[in-house]
Amino acid sequence: MQMTDIPFGTTDWSTVEVTEHRGATGMARWRTRNFGSIRVRLVEYSPGYLADHWCSKGHILLCLEGELHTELADGRRFVLAPGMSYQVADNAEPHRSFTHTGAKLFIVD
């Protein structure tokens, strides 16, 4: 990843517009900033959220609150607690996430 043409700045995430995205169950609330080709998001999953698709997009994801379960298409499963992260490249390993309790995430992709 090459980060260019991004001047120093700060983000007050409480002022960034929320967009809602339904999962197969539950809801994801995104606050999104774009810096050139880099998307940065603060995402909150409701309790019971299950993604409605297998994702092939690469991410660097940090769990801030709650607990996030991520399943890979090959059947492996991972659980993130606050302070844990995962990273995956574009088109590397399809994945989908769910949470029983809800989760708050910081995602760069």
Q: Which pLDDT tens digit goes with each residue over 13-64?
A: 999 999 999 999 999 999 999 998 899 999 999 999 999 999 999 999 999 9
CA distance 53 to 1: 25
Show the CA angle centred on residue 77, arms to residues 13 and 32, nearest 5°.
15
Residue in this structure with the two tokens 């995602």, named with its chain if needed: 107
Kind of pairing, strands 27-35 and 68-72? unpaired
The structure's pTM equals 0.92
CA distance 35 to 14: 18
